[in-house]
Amino acid sequence: MDKKRILKALFIGFICLIIVTNVVRLVVDYYTPSFLFELIDQAKADKALVEYIGDYKEYRFSYTSPNRAKLRFELSIIGDDSTLTYEGQAAKISERQWKIEQIKSTVWAP
């Protein structure tokens, strides 16, 4: 194969990778309960909290199956200095709407 074909194949592969990555991200975001993203936005907007845990770096979450009436969740918001962890339970209101029933927050220092 000549260099042009290799570059063309690499370029097409790269474009396909970007498309697949974005589709997967959209699917994950669609099926993730929206209150988790709301908690992240609230934490990022709380200046005192951001000052305490350090600048926002990333988040991680896990939850039980959203097909049940109750959903247990854990959300960690990781800052430069500490990690804020929310643990709780939400009740299903409708197909994609949840109401937080219980929540506990803990700040962990590394």
Check pLDDT > 80 for residue 110.
no
Check pLDDT > 70 for residue 37.
yes
Would you list the DSSP string of the chain? --HHHHHHHHHHHHHHHHHHHHHHHHHHHHHS-HHHHHHHHHHHH-HHHHHHH-SEEEEEEEE--TTSSEEEEEEEEEESS-EEEEEEEEEEEETTEEEEEEEEEEEE--
Residue 1: pLDDT band with limits 50, 70, 90: low
For the whole model, what pTM was predicted? 0.74
Q: Could you tell me the fold of the domain covering 33-108?
A: Nuclear Transport Factor 2; Chain: A, (3.10.450)
How far lies 44's CA from each of 34, 66, 105, in Å? Answer: 16, 25, 15
For the stretch 8-16, contacts whose Cβ atoms lie closer than 8 Å and that sit 24 or more positions apart, written own/partner, are none
**Lowest-confidence pick of 19-28, 75-84, 92-101:** 92-101
